[in-house]
Amino acid sequence: MLLHLDGDDPMAMNPVETVQLSHWESIPEPGVVAHALDALESGCVLRLPLAFPLEEGEQVVLSDALLDGSRKNISYDPATGRLKGCVDDPALAGRLRAVMARYARLSASLLDNLLPAYRGQLEAGRTSYRPAEIAGRPVRSWRRDDTRLHVDAFPATPVNGRRLLRVFHNLNPEGVRRWCVGEPFPELARRFFGQIPPPARWQARLLALLGLTRSLRSPYDHYMLQLHDRMKADLDYQYSAGRLALAFAPGETWVVFSDQASHAVLGGQFMLEQTFYLPVEQMVYPERSPLRVLEKLAGRPLV
């Protein structure tokens, strides 16, 4: 483990850092807290050997028959208790809801203790369950193909610069989840920025008017979506970009700012994910955020 407390040189970090916690509600030592925060804000993947045991009767969720039609994930809204994308079977849905609600709650506790700098500032988004095998799965379009390196960006829900912090867990009792992570954000931003047409206000207005975005797409959201799309569409880049292969073991948890860390999923089944949003101003090193990196390249504010 590399202990690194200097905010000026995030690239001295390994792309993956591990922290040991004994359970989801552990209170870590201050050194662990500083290390975790520095690693995450540098765009590293933070690995935690933290199991999320299923309770009696919950093994039924380990099946891709839970998926409704051709969807690849089931989402849960912790605020309303609503499940989306799950087959219409009240007993199964009830079990899955209990699992996802518990995952949402434990993910929030984990971040509350591991990242006290963000306490009270993280807003919980959807919980997601991906029970289908990724490897060999047909994809509807290159844009939706998460086996290609990308940073996360939402086409319909503008974030206006807010960060996307995600807690992932491999719920598969037997198989690994295979990922790879790519080059640091400042490098990929520099690589693609020159190809991106500047955002047009009329376009953002039209998208909102047509109901294609939930609110006006900010220039920041425009650049992030363009980065996401241009990375995925560029096959030369997909074949040649530097990357590190990772395999998350059964019962392993990992946390990452997925708007910053270039990533792709290559295989695996049964993964849980909880999304949190964080205002850039609440970061300890906001200059490392995609917003600030892109603003430097654009030479102007983007939200």
Q: Which residues bind ligand SIN (CB under 6 A)?
A: 130, 146, 152, 177, 258, 263, 265, 271
Of residues 35 and 169, the one with the C-beta less far from ligand SIN: 169
Q: Does 152 bind Fe ion (CB under 5 A)?
A: yes
Using alpha carbons, select from 249, 23, 89, 259 the residue that is nearest to residue 160: 259
- Tell me the residue type at 34: A
Phi, then psi, of 89 in degrees rounded to 5: -140, 100
Residue 1, classed as helix, strand or coil, is coil
- Would you say 104 or 265 has its CB closer to ligand SIN? 265
Stretch that binds Fe ion, among 45-53, 151-159, 182-190, 272-280 (CB under 5 A): 151-159
Considering CB distances under 5 to 8 angstroms, the limit depending on partner class, which of ligand SIN, Fe ion, none binds residue 48?
none
Residues 174 and 266: their CA atoms lie apart, in Å, by: 16
Cα separation, 142 vs 293, in Å, equals: 26
Q: For residue 90, what are the contacts with CB-CB under 8 A and spacing of at least 6?
A: none
Q: Report in angstroms how near the CB of residue 106 gets to ligand SIN at its nearest.
A: 19
Q: Between 24 and 257, whose beta carbon lies closer to ligand SIN?
A: 257
Q: Which is nearer to Fe ion, 17 or 152 (CB)?
A: 152
Angle of CA points 245, 246, 247, to nearest 5° = 130
Q: Do residues 70 and 138 touch, judged by C-beta distance below 8 A?
A: no
The one segment of 37-45, 128-136, 145-153, 233-241 that binds Fe ion by CB under 5 A:
145-153
- Min. distance of Cβ 88 from Fe ion in angstroms? 28
- Taking the complex as a whole, the smallest distance from the CB of residue 153 to Fe ion amounts, in Å, to 9
- If the CB atoms of residues 89 and 145 are measured against ligand SIN, the closer one turns out to be 145
Residue nearest to Fe ion (CB): 152
HSE-CB for 271 with a 13 A CA cutoff: 28
The site for Fe ion (CB under 5 A) is made up of: 152
